[in-house]
Structure 1
Amino acid sequence: MKKEALGKCPVCNDNLNITRLQCNSCGTAIEGNFTQCKFCKLDDNQKDFVEVFIKNRGNIKEIEKEMGISYPTVRNKLENVIESLGYSPKSAPKMNKKEILSKLSNGEITADEAVKLLSE
């Protein structure tokens, strides 16, 4: 089983740098100060979410179904990943009452979620 490099320090949660790379075949080693890709810095839950998101081609209804979570939870997880990748989160556009009631009617959100959205 192949192990992934840690992206965050388990003590202080700061980013880790890779300082040594080694070839499994010939043993050649390269030392330096290497940065990790942005996705390496995501935690396991975020990586799992990104995989489900990509597999479902960003279809939030399918993501909800596969993960057993609500629309707002999918949005929150997506915003969390966006922020972890170093991008500024954009505030979600406000839905009008008609859109909220339509989502409720289609089963895209729960009654509690609709109440919350209507009170914002």
Structure 2
Amino acid sequence: MEKKLPHICPSCSSELNVQSLVCSNCATLVSGEFGLPLLARFTPEEQAFIIDFVKSSGSLKVMAQKLNLSYPSVRNLLDDLIVKIENNEKPSNPSK
């Protein structure tokens, strides 16, 4: 069974951060506190939608056929993801 990377705390429902990374080749360990990449914060279903959307070259028509949904329904799913992306993007630092 494939383990999924958790991104929500099971205790308080806050976003989890990564504390360490290890190289499976040489066992180098990097420690610190790292935020998860934006796409890792999505549910598996949302990630699958994004992957399928990219593979369909961004065609909502193809997505509607693949998901057996109406075009407006797929558009609504995409709009929901856009809002989630906008809400999760970190503000850029204008001084850099």
Structure 1 residue 35 and structure 2 residue 53: aligned? no
Match of 1:61 in 2: 61
TM-score, normalised to structure 1's length? Answer: 0.64
> 4+ residue runs of structure 1 moved beyond 6 angstroms?
none
Look up the equivalent residue of 1:15 and give its one-letter code.
E
CA distance, structure 2, for counterparts of residue 30 and residue 47 of structure 1: 27
Secondary structure of residue in 2 paired with 1:6? coil
Look up the equivalent residue of 1:21 and give its one-letter code.
L
CA distance, structure 2, for counterparts of residue 4 and residue 86 of structure 1: 24
Q: CA deviation at 1:80?
A: 1.7
Identity across aligned pairs (percent)? 30
Match of 1:72 in 2: 72
TM-score, normalised to structure 2's length? Answer: 0.78
Quote the RMSD (CA, aligned, Å). Answer: 2.0
Larger radius of gyration: 1
Q: CA deviation at 1:67?
A: 0.8
Match of 1:20 in 2: 20
Q: CA deviation at 1:65?
A: 0.3
Look up the equivalent residue of 1:47 and give its one-letter code.
Q
Q: How many residues in Structure 1 have an aligned counterpart in Structure 2?
A: 88
Deviations 1:26-61 (A, max 9, x none): 211111011111001010110011011111111111
